Homo-oligomer: A and B are copies of this chain.
Amino acid sequence: MRADGRAVDELRPITITRGWSDQAEGSALIEFGATRVLCTASLTEGVPRWLKGEGRGWVTAEYAMLPRATSTRSARESVKGKIGGRTHEISRLIGRALRSIIDLKALGENTVVLDCDVLQADGGTRTAAITGAYVALAEAISWAHANGVIKANVKPLVDTVSAVSVGIIDGVPMLDLPYVEDVRAETDMNVVVTGSGNFVEVQGTAEGAPFNRGELDVLLDLAVAGCAQLTTIQQETLEAGRGR
């Protein structure tokens, strides 16, 4: 039995608020239980210098956490004057995940920056960020279509993408770990899956004892099933239209 009463293969309550921002081309406030991440997509014309003239666009991501998103306050990375390894690693992961489902040629020479700011953290912030960033990105692509930045018959999004964490606690594989479970997990895995069910990223780490092939298989099953549910929620949110 889990502390919050969920089954081992059950997601926390998921809420996605589309169009949270009045300023960004796309945005979503995503909640996985008490984890809340504000995702914005900033779409601008032009690409970084190293891509110029190649007829392709660029998608990149930046992840950050507010200092009091966690139970004790952390110093700001801006104050420390440098970005920590964990932040870098997650930003790169989000960027790769979102680039996996976009056709950069179809995007044209446009750049999308996905900002994922964790307002409150309770485990699974990076996977929530990927899941929310997809909604913000889709909204920004709609904006680009509506505003003539991308032609109506050009479809940069070739699939959808979502992500979830899984892990083994006391020998039991479980889906979608909140902080209290995450710190106790022997193995921790983040899985990024497309809407069509293929893997974009599999990152499994033994925090305690190494894991065997059988455990790996069960974890992958849980993650694939969890992402299928997230895909449905993403689609429902996008069909329901903007609104805070």
**CB of A198 within 8 A of chain B?**
yes
Q: A189 — which chain B residues lie within 8 A by C-beta?
A: 202
From DSSP, what is the main secondary structure of chain A's interface residues? mixed
Stretch at the interface among A76-84, A124-132, A231-239: A76-84
- CB pair B115 A70 closer than 8 Å: no
A78 with B64, Cβ < 8 A, contacts A100-B210, A202-B204, A210-B194 known: yes
Which residue from B34, B91, B96, B205 sits with its C-beta under 8 Å from A96?
A: B205
- CB pair A23 B71 closer than 8 Å: yes
CB distance from A93 to the nearest CB of B (A): 9
A219: nearest chain-B partner, CB-CB: B202
Q: A194 — which chain B residues lie within 8 A by C-beta?
A: 210
A203: nearest chain-B partner, CB-CB: B203
- CB pair B206 A68 closer than 8 Å: no
Which residue from B21, B69, B77 sits with its C-beta under 8 Å from A68?
A: B21
Q: A49 — which chain B residues lie within 8 A by C-beta?
A: none
Q: A47 — which chain B residues lie within 8 A by C-beta?
A: none
**CB of A175 within 8 A of chain B?**
no
Query: How many copies of this chain are found per oligomer?
Result: 6
Which residue from B42, B62, B83, B212 sits with its C-beta under 8 Å from A199?
A: B212
A68: nearest chain-B partner, CB-CB: B40
- CB pair B213 A120 closer than 8 Å: no
**Complexed CA–CA distance, A81 and B81 (Å):** 4
A–B pairs, 27, beta carbons within 8 Å: A23-B120, A24-B68, A40-B67, A40-B68, A42-B67, A44-B72, A44-B73, A78-B80, A78-B82, A81-B81, A82-B82, A85-B89, A85-B91, A85-B92, A88-B89, A89-B89, A159-B210, A197-B212, A198-B210, A198-B211, A199-B213, A199-B216, A200-B206, A201-B204, A201-B206, A202-B204, A202-B216
New A-B pairs, 17, CB < 8 Å, besides A67-B113, A200-B205: A23-B69, A38-B119, A42-B67, A44-B72, A73-B115, A81-B81, A88-B88, A88-B89, A96-B205, A100-B206, A198-B212, A199-B204, A199-B213, A199-B216, A202-B204, A203-B204, A216-B220
